[in-house]
């Protein structure tokens, strides 16, 4: 019995030590390579820098097409982001009439934010003020150069648009067809010949970047609703990295203080609680990585906070055990009744924290949701480590015949 | 441990003196409310709208230089010098019509003056419409969590104890708001997160005591009065009430000391809330339960006669 418990205890501690080592340093066995856990954590914008924009759509509250308009706008914005090579960007609806866009690490955040909200309504208008074709008729639009190195946009129309365009160029031969974007004429070419194949060029761009931008806008289509920016946050990469560093430092200091306190105040059980805290920290990080939870700055705060909360259950249990010991119970009996009597209070406490977490997750936006997620994760994981794990290890220790009650703080 | 025994054998009469403790809290809350009425809360851009530019200049600078840039551009804004070596600046301005243009001009001027790149700037701009939603959501979520917790505690214990626990929670939130008003802390969404976290957390200690009351009722229900049972329970749970909050105080203090501005905006109200939570658990929640139980008991006896 005693030998077996000793072996189990040794194995548990060895396992934790190895897992800690792998989590911190990674591991390489032949072709298999495990990267350190910290490197796998998905960082939020506020840590790695980037752009966070909330757009508000101008839609009447009772509009029956509200949802489809928002979905349409998101599609168009996605197109524009993809064409600007921002594949890591995320777009999501928020509430009923808002859209949140998050783009990691951009150089020209404001410019990109502006492009995303451009209505991009393209119209070809004849001399009589009639709309000949619109952006919807355009199949492709590409930037390029024509003679004299002038930047232009080449476009190709869908068959139906091509037909309309052919008819119009025939009708207005020798006259001006205005090309208008969002009400601003960008080019006013004179029709030199009939264009039957639906291919043409738009002049009037200052440089190739402008041509690229216009081509992107035309190809990704017009927004079905009018958008305005109601919240823009840009986070510089240096500042994000600093916030991360300081957050980790706070975590290490907080963890050490809790460690020390538990050890000094509760001695042997305190040491076991500290071990449980190590397991807790490992599990939270592992779940964060596996469940692909993005860690934001408030998310780090949630984790650090939850370290302090995680040992609460242990404090409640250990105080109970002390009481039972003072009442004259044996160690094993005190341990069992300590755990079972403390359980309901611990469960109730954690449920109320979860209630607050759920409310926060539901009503909070952006980074605050990150906080709610890590807080709730922490509560659930700590229930396991503080109760199941601690109890198991303490039992093993008692089996080893460590009976000196002084070690248990009595 | 002698000291440890001392605490467990302590028998402080919290219940009969509870009016004094309530009065202390009321003084803080009323002072805070008075400041709120006359000066308002120090609401940040999340609520009021506006722009905050955080810049890491990375070398010693004088905030007056930035102020003169601001005045030369006709921008009304405040400058605060922050950071480890006082090398960072926070520039706050109210929301204006052509916000984007104004802030870009300012950023360009700062870049030129201190030779900076985009990486050293964080710019938050919030329009005036967002604040209304946040205010509504903040109030709504606070009330909703109160209701849920009342239902939960009410079913797990009894309705009266649920109400006593909620009164303690309302107390904590009022103290947090009062402290924010008195200390002039910036109030943004991290503050709301702190309030909700405290609502979920500060009740934990209260539950531990109520759990103990329930147990002691079974043991001494016939021999002792409600006041004696609650007093006993508070005294017996004193070490754990203090220790559980202490460990959380450690980590929150670490966040406050080492964290960046937005983390400080969260951890300072958290510190206030945790301390207030311990206070309300020991001095308010239990005694209030006694008060109501005894009142109900007296009424029952009166009608029985």
- Asked if residue A268 lies in contact with residue A398, where contact means CB atoms within 8 angstroms, the answer is no
DSSP per-residue letters across B157-223:
S-HHHHHHHHHHHHHHHHHHHHHHHHHT--BSHHHHHHHHHHHHHHHHHHHHHHHHHHHHHHHHTTT
pLDDT at A1: 62
Per residue in B160-176, pLDDT (tens digit) is 888 999 999 999 999 99
B78: left (phi over 0), alpha (psi -120 to 50) or beta: beta
Token readout for B165 is: 């626990």
CB contact under 8 A, B250 and A316: no
Q: What is the number of other CB atoms lying within 10 angstroms of the CB of residue B304?
A: 6
Min Cα–Cα distance to chain A from B22, Å: 24
Per residue in A356-384, pLDDT (tens digit) is 999 989 888 777 888 899 999 999 999 99
Residue contacts between A and B (CB atoms, under 8 Å): 223
Is the pLDDT score of B2 beyond 50?
no
Residues A321 and A332 in one domain: yes
Chain B residue with CA closest to A259: the answer is: B247
CB contact under 8 A, B259 and A246: yes
Is the pLDDT score of A184 beyond 90?
no
Residues A199 and A338 in one domain: no
CB burial readout A106-128, b (16+ within 10 A) else e:
beebbebbebbbbbbbbbbbbee
Residue A404 CB contacts under 8 Å (≥ 6 apart), including other chains: none
Cα separation, A103 vs A234, in Å, equals 9
Is the pLDDT score of A80 beyond 70?
yes
Nearest CB to A253 within list B130, B258, B263? B258
Residues A248 and A229 in one domain: no
- Asked if residue A309 lies in contact with residue A385, where contact means CB atoms within 8 angstroms, the answer is no
pLDDT at B5: 43
Kindly state the DSSP code that residue A342 receives in the 8-state scheme: H
Q: Which residue has the higher pLDDT, B5 or A242?
A: A242
**Burial category of B74 from C-beta neighbours within 10 Å (exposed 0-12, middle 13-18, buried 19 and up):** exposed
CB contact under 8 A, A354 and B236: no
Is the pLDDT score of A62 beyond 90?
no
Min Cα–Cα distance to chain A from B276, Å: 16
Cα separation, A360 vs A94, in Å, equals 15
CB contact under 8 A, B248 and A308: yes
Token readout for A218 is: 């035309």
- End residue of a domain, out of A156, A188, A220: A220
pLDDT grade for B230, boundaries at 50, 70 and 90: very high
pLDDT at B34: 96
pLDDT at A290: 92
Query: If DSSP codes are grouped into helix, strand and coil, which group holds residue B134?
Result: helix
- End residue of a domain, out of A220, A251, A286: A220
CATH of the domain at A85: 3.30.70.3400
Is the pLDDT score of A339 beyond 50?
yes
User: From the candidates A308, A340, A353, A364, which should be mutated to test the interface with B, based on the most B CB atoms within 10 A?
Assistant: A308
CB contact under 8 A, A236 and B120: yes
Residues A242 and A366 in one domain: yes
Number of domains in chain A: 3
- End residue of a domain, out of A235, A263, A294: A235
Task: Output the average pLDDT for chain A.
Answer: 88
Cα separation, A306 vs A376, in Å, equals 9
H or E stretch covering A133: strand A131-134
**Does B100 lie at the interface with A, CB-CB under 8 angstroms?**
yes
Lowest-confidence segment of A179-193, B13-27, B244-258 by average pLDDT: A179-193
Name the percent of chain B lying above pLDDT 70.
97
Cα separation, B79 vs B68, in Å, equals 11
pLDDT grade for B144, boundaries at 50, 70 and 90: very high
pLDDT at B7: 44
Residues in B closer than 8 angstroms to A351, CB to CB, are 152
Residues in A closer than 8 angstroms to B153, CB to CB, are 348, 352
pLDDT at B131: 84
Q: Which residue has the higher pLDDT, A111 or B34?
A: B34
pLDDT at A129: 84
**Does B133 lie at the interface with A, CB-CB under 8 angstroms?**
yes
pLDDT at B221: 81
Is the pLDDT score of B130 beyond 50?
yes
Query: If DSSP codes are grouped into helix, strand and coil, which group holds residue B85?
Result: coil
Query: If DSSP codes are grouped into helix, strand and coil, which group holds residue A391?
Result: helix
Which residue is associated with the tokens 């509560």?
A379
pLDDT grade for B4, boundaries at 50, 70 and 90: very low
CB contact under 8 A, A362 and B189: no
Is the pLDDT score of A355 beyond 80?
yes
Residues A92 and A29 in one domain: no
Kindly state the DSSP code that residue A181 receives in the 8-state scheme: E
Per residue in A241-252, pLDDT (tens digit) is 999 999 999 999
CB contact under 8 A, B125 and A341: no
Residues A281 and A159 in one domain: no
Instruction: Residue A149: give the domain boundaries.
Output: 122-220
Cα separation, A8 vs A137, in Å, equals 73
CATH of the domain at A140: 3.30.1360.200
pLDDT at B256: 96
H or E stretch covering A180: strand A178-181
Q: Which residue has the higher pLDDT, B17 or B6?
A: B17
- Asked if residue B173 lies in contact with residue B199, where contact means CB atoms within 8 angstroms, the answer is yes
Chain A residue with CA closest to B139: the answer is: A363
Q: What is the number of other CB atoms lying within 10 angstroms of the CB of residue B296?
A: 12
Residues in A closer than 8 angstroms to B125, CB to CB, are 229, 231-233
Q: Helix crossing, B159-183 with B189-220: angle to 10°?
A: 150
* Beta-bridge partners for B77: B93
Task: Output the average pLDDT for chain B.
Answer: 89
pLDDT at B181: 96
pLDDT at B44: 92
pLDDT at A410: 64
Is the pLDDT score of A55 beyond 80?
yes
Kindly state the DSSP code that residue A206 receives in the 8-state scheme: S
pLDDT at B9: 60
Residues in A closer than 8 angstroms to B140, CB to CB, are 363
Residue B295 CB contacts under 8 Å (≥ 6 apart), including other chains: none
Residues A205 and A269 in one domain: no
Chain B residue with CA closest to A255: the answer is: B251
What radius of gyration, in Å, describes the C-alpha atoms of chain A?
Answer: 32
**Which pTM value belongs to this model?**
0.86
Residues A176 and A295 in one domain: no
Lowest-confidence segment of A29-43, A89-103, A158-172, B253-267 by average pLDDT: A29-43
**Does B53 lie at the interface with A, CB-CB under 8 angstroms?**
no
* Beta-bridge partners for A50: A104, A235
Token readout for A56 is: 């508000």
Cα separation, A196 vs B30, in Å, equals 80
pLDDT at B6: 39
Residues A184 and A150 in one domain: yes
| Residue B121 backbone dihedrals phi, psi, to 5 degrees | -115, 140
pLDDT at B1: 34
Token readout for A144 is: 């390029």
CB contact under 8 A, B250 and A345: no
Q: Residue A47: which of A183, A263, A233 has the closest Cα?
A: A233
Q: Which residue has the higher pLDDT, B116 or B96?
A: B116
Chain B residue with CA closest to A406: the answer is: B1
Q: Which residue has the higher pLDDT, B7 or A118?
A: A118
Residues A365 and A266 in one domain: yes
- Asked if residue A243 lies in contact with residue A47, where contact means CB atoms within 8 angstroms, the answer is yes
Residues in B closer than 8 angstroms to A237, CB to CB, are 119
- Asked if residue B51 lies in contact with residue B125, where contact means CB atoms within 8 angstroms, the answer is yes
The pLDDT of B26-35, averaged and rounded, is 96
Q: Which residue has the higher pLDDT, B119 or A107?
A: B119
Residues in A closer than 8 angstroms to B85, CB to CB, are none
Residues in A closer than 8 angstroms to B126, CB to CB, are 230-231
pLDDT at B173: 95
pLDDT at B62: 93
Name the percent of chain A lying above pLDDT 70.
99
Residues A195 and A250 in one domain: no
Token readout for B282 is: 């020991």
**Does B193 lie at the interface with A, CB-CB under 8 angstroms?**
yes
Token readout for A95 is: 């509430």
Reported ipTM: the value is 0.88
Chain centre distance of CA B151? 22
Token readout for A409 is: 């703080």
**Burial category of B117 from C-beta neighbours within 10 Å (exposed 0-12, middle 13-18, buried 19 and up):** exposed
pLDDT grade for A216, boundaries at 50, 70 and 90: confident
Q: Which residue has the higher pLDDT, A17 or A183?
A: A17
Residues A318 and A192 in one domain: no
Q: CA distances (Å), A409 to each of A323, A390, B43, B247, in order?
A: 11, 16, 47, 18
Cα separation, A74 vs A68, in Å, equals 10
Lowest-confidence segment of A80-94, B18-32, B52-66 by average pLDDT: A80-94
Nearest CB to A257 within list B211, B239, B250? B250
Q: Residue A91: which of A105, A72, A106 has the closest Cα?
A: A72
């Amino acid at each position: 019995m005693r030998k077996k418990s000793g072996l189990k205890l040794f194995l548990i501690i060895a396992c934790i030590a190895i897992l800690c080592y792998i989590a911190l340093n990674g591991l390489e066995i032949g072709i298999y390579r495990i990267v350190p856990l910290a490197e796998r954590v998905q960082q939020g914008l506020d840590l790695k820098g980037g752009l966070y924009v909330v757009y508000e759509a101008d839609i009447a509250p009772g509009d029956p097409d509200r949802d489809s308009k928002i979905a349409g706008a998101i599609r168009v914005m996605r197109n524009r982001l993809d064409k600007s090579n921002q594949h890591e960007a995320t777009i999501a609806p928020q509430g009923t009439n808002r859209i949140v866009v998050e783009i990691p690490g951009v150089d020209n955040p404001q410019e990109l934010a502006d492009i995303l909200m451009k209505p991009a309504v393209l119209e070809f208008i004849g001399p009589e003020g009639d709309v000949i074709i619109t952006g919807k008729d355009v199949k492709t639009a590409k930037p390029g150069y024509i003679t004299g190195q002038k930047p232009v946009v080449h476009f190709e129309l869908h068959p139906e648009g091509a037909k309309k365009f052919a008819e119009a160029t025939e009708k207005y031969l020798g006259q001006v067809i205005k090309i208008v974007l969002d009400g601003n004429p960008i080019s006013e070419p004179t029709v030199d010949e009939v264009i039957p194949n639906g291919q043409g060029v738009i002049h009037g761009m200052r440089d190739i970047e402008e041509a690229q931008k216009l081509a992107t806008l035309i190809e990704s289509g017009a927004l079905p609703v009018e958008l305005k920016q109601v919240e823009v946050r840009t986070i510089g990469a240096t500042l994000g990295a600093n916030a991360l560093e300081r957050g980790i430092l706070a975590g290490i200091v907080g963890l050490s203080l809790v460690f020390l306190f538990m050890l000094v105040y509760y001695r042997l059980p305190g040491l076991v609680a500290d071990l449980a805290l190590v397991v807790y920290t490992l599990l939270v990080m592992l779940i964060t990585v596996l469940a692909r939870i993005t860690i934001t700055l408030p998310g780090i705060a949630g984790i650090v906070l939850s370290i302090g909360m995680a040992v609460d259950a242990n404090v409640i249990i250990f105080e109970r055990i002390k009481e039972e010991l003072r009442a004259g119970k044996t160690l094993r009996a005190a341990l069992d009744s300590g755990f079972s009597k403390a359980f309901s209070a611990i469960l109730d406490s954690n449920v109320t924290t979860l209630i607050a977490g759920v409310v926060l997750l539901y009503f909070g936006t952006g980074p605050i949701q990150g906080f709610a997620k890590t807080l709730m994760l922490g509560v659930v994981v700590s229930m396991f480590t503080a109760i199941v794990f601690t109890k198991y290890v303490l039992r093993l220790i008692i089996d080893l015949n460590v009976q000196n009650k002084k070690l248990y703080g009595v | 441990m002698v000291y440890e025994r001392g605490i467990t054998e302590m028998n402080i009469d919290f219940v009969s003196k509870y009016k004094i403790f309530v009065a202390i809290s009321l003084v803080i809350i009323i002072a805070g409310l008075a400041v709120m009425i006359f000066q308002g809360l120090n609401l940040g851009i999340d609520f009021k709208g506006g722009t905050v530019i955080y810049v890491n200049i990375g070398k010693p600078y004088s905030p007056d230089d930035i102020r003169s840039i601001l005045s030369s551009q006709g921008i009304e804004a405040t400058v605060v010098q922050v950071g480890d070596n006082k090398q960072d600046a926070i520039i706050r301005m109210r929301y204006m019509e052509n916000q984007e243009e104004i802030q870009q001009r300012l950023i360009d001027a700062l870049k030129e003056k201190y030779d900076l790149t985009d990486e050293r700037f964080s710019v938050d701009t919030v329009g005036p419409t967002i604040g209304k939603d946040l205010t509504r959501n903040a109030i709504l979520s606070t009330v909703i969590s109160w209701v849920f917790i009342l239902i939960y505690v009410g079913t797990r214990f009894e309705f009266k104890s649920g109400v006593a626990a909620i009164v303690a929670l309302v107390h904590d939130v009022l103290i947090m708001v009062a402290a924010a008003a008195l200390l002039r802390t910036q109030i943004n969404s991290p503050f709301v997160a702190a309030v909700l976290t405290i609502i979920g957390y500060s009740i934990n200690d209260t539950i531990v005591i109520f759990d103990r009351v329930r147990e002691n009722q079974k043991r001494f229900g016939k021999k002792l009065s409600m006041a004696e049972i609650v007093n006993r329970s508070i005294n017996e749970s004193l070490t754990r009430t203090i220790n559980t909050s202490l460990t959380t105080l450690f980590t929150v203090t670490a966040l406050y000391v080492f964290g960046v501005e937005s983390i400080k905006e969260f951890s300072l109200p958290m510190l206030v809330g945790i301390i207030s939570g311990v206070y309300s658990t020991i001095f308010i929640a239990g005694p209030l339960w006694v008060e109501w139980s005894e009142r109900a008991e007296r009424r029952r006896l009166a009608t029985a006669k």
